[in-house]
Structures are given as C-alpha cells and as structure tokens.
C-alpha cells in the first residue's frame, strides 16, 4: 500500500448456491455488525454472488443476493465462506475475477472448504494452506502444488489466507482483525463473540479422537503434573514412572489417546504458556524460557518459531496486551 493511502476496509463475502451458513454467519458477525466503539475506520461489509438471485444454503434456507461479482472490484478483503467440495469446477470468470482482485491488492480469505475455490485460482500453489482435516487429502490430491497442512488452524501470507474446519474460521477472522487494528480490537470482538481471542494448538487435537479416550486413563495424572510443572526437566523415563508404565507403553498410549508423542505434547504446552507470558507480562525471554521449561532464550525462539511461524519477540510486539505488567 503506498504511503498515506487509507486502508480499504470493505469486506465482501462471496455467496454461492449451497452456501455454508455457519461460515457465512461468522463472517457477517465479525465484519458486518456496527461497532461504534471501534471508530469510523471500522470495516464495511457486503455480499455478492456470481449469479445474483435466490441461492440455496446447506441449512435448508434460501437467501437473496442481488449484487454480482463486480462488487469484488472494490473489496479490500474477499472472504470465501466455504465452497462446494464435490469436485465441480468453478467458472473461469469467477477464477479470473479473484485473481484480478489479488493482483490489484485485495486480500483473499477462505474458510474450511473455501480452500478448494482458492486453490483453483492457482494462488495457493507453492504456499502452505489448510482446510478441514476431512478434506485435506482431497485438496492435496486435486491440487498437488499446494502445501497442505492438515494440522494448523489457519495459514497465510502475501494476502492469501486459509483456515481449517468451520470454527477455525473465527480464529482466522480474529487474526485479520488483529493484523488490521491490533490485539485490543481483536480481544474486544472476541469478548462480544464470547470466544478466546486465539486458541493454542492445531487440528490434530480434533481429528476423530478425544484428548483422552477414557476418563480413567492412566495418562490423566501425568498430564495434570506436566501442566502444573512444565518447567521441570522432564524425561521420558520420569513420565513413564509417573504414569506407572514402560516407556514403550507410554509412547503408544500417547499416540492412541492424544495423537502425539509425550515430548511433542509437552513442548506444545510450554509454547502455550510462553504465548500467555508474552502477551501478559514484560518478562525477558530468558525468564520466559526458564518458566516454561524451554531452558534458554535460543531454545524458546527455535521451538516457538517452528510451531507458530513467528519468533517470540515479534509475537509479543503484535499481541501484547496494553494492560501488560511486569510479573515476577
């Protein structure tokens, strides 16, 4: 964006026959509601479709959309709230319109199966992208040039963003608010929605398995201890003793019940704690590394960047709350 140019706050949702009502609803909720507390620069919202008229939805309702694709020419952000994942090819006119919008500077955003339409434009080729875990293999097979990541909740760069299953769209849309207006605005919208401003972890925790398959799992005591004392220098042997099982059995039970290795799960908990400390305290990186069990600032940076794609110092700069205070 050239210096001095006002940001384009017009968000346009692309409707279609068979519209996913949840994905469209959260888009309208976040970008379409009047929020006078946010000031005059807040988003404007519109809806368009390729063929104006009455459209069906996946909820048995019909909606009337009277504006066509010409609306996308004015959009600063275009949201694709789901899409048909049945293999039907989108029209060349629709694809060319989306490509042209990106070329002129618009931000393209897909929720859940909307990644199929975004991938059909070619704009996801060579990029890391996500969709609902049930569709990930299908998306990869249909668009092999896309780097499909079935674990993450959302991904994006260079004005092209994708999100995982339906509720992950909320995570992505709040992320866009955070990018545009800062963490306080994102937190305010999240409070109105009664959701967390961001969630830790990825889709793996939701893939057809509960966190623990049995309420009486022998892992429960171990997980409780790991959460209470993440700074301890845990070894696999120590974990196995707490769980009263062999190291081999511990590894197998973790994969079966949690879908991760013991150490990988522990690192994710440590990173989640590091995120909270970065957002809510002014503690130096060395202290955060010590409190989270990651040891050194270098180790914190390596693990944090590997999991979140952003180093901890930049994460703090973007997401630190304005009421942050130095904590002991």
Tell me what pLDDT residue 199 has.
64
The answer to whether residues 116 and 16 belong to one domain is yes
The answer to whether residues 165 and 226 belong to one domain is no
User: Which residues in the chain come in under a pLDDT of 70?
Assistant: 1-4, 196-216, 319-328
Query: Does 250 map to a domain?
Result: yes
3-state helix, strand, coil in the chain (%, to 5): 45, 15, 40
Inter-residue contact 75 to 11 (CB < 8 Å): yes
Tell me what pLDDT residue 197 has.
64
Which residue, chain included where needed, has tokens 């973007």? 318
Question: In angstroms, how far is CA 151 from the centroid of its own chain?
Answer: 10
The answer to whether residues 189 and 216 belong to one domain is no
From 168, 193, 218, give the residue that closes a domain.
193
Tell me what pLDDT residue 203 has.
56
The answer to whether residues 137 and 255 belong to one domain is no
The answer to whether residues 188 and 219 belong to one domain is no
From 143, 164, 193, give the residue that closes a domain.
193
65: containing domain:
10-193
Query: Does 198 map to a domain?
Result: no
Query: Does 3 map to a domain?
Result: no
Question: What digits encode the pLDDT tens for the residues 276-308?
Answer: 898 888 999 999 999 999 999 999 999 998 887
Inter-residue contact 41 to 78 (CB < 8 Å): no
Q: Which of 48, 46, 43 is nearest to 7 (CA)?
A: 43
The answer to whether residues 281 and 150 belong to one domain is no
């Amino acid at each position: 964006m050239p210096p001095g140019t006002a940001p384009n706050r017009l968000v346009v949702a692309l409707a279609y026959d068979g519209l996913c009502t949840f994905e469209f609803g959260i888009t309208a909720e976040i970008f379409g509601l009047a929020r006078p507390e946010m000031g005059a620069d807040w988003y404007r919202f519109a809806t368009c479709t390729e063929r104006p008229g009455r459209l069906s939805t996946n909820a048995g309702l019909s909606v009337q959309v009277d504006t066509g694709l010409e609306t996308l020419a004015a959009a600063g952000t275009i949201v694709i709230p789901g899409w048909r994942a049945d293999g039907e090819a989108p029209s060349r006119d629709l694809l060319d319109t989306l490509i042209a919008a990106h070329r002129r500077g618009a931000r393209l955003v897909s929720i859940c199966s909307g990644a199929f339409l975004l991938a059909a434009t070619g704009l996801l080729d060579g990029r890391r992208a996500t969709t609902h875990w049930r569709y990930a293999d299908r998306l990869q097979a249909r668009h092999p040039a896309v780097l499909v990541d079935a674990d993450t909740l959302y991904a994006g760069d260079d004005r092209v963003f994708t999100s995982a299953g339906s509720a992950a769209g909320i995570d992505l849309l709040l992320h866009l608010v955070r990018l545009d207006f800062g963490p306080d605005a994102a937190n305010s919208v999240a409070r109105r929605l009664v959701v967390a401003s961001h969630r830790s972890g990825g889709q793996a925790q939701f893939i057809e398995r509960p966190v623990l398959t049995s309420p009486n799992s022998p892992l429960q005591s171990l997980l409780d201890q790991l959460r209470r004392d993440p700074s301890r220098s845990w070894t696999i042997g120590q974990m196995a003793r707490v769980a009263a099982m062999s190291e081999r059995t511990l590894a197998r039970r973790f994969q079966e019940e949690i879908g991760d290795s013991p150490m990988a799960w522990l690192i994710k908990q440590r990173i989640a704690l590091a995120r909270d400390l970065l957002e809510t305290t002014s503690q130096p990186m060395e202290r955060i590394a010590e409190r989270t069990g990651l040891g050194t600032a270098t180790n914190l940076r390596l693990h944090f960047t590997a999991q979140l794609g952003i180093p901890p110092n930049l994460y703090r700069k973007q997401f630190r709350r304005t009421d942050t205070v130095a904590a002991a």
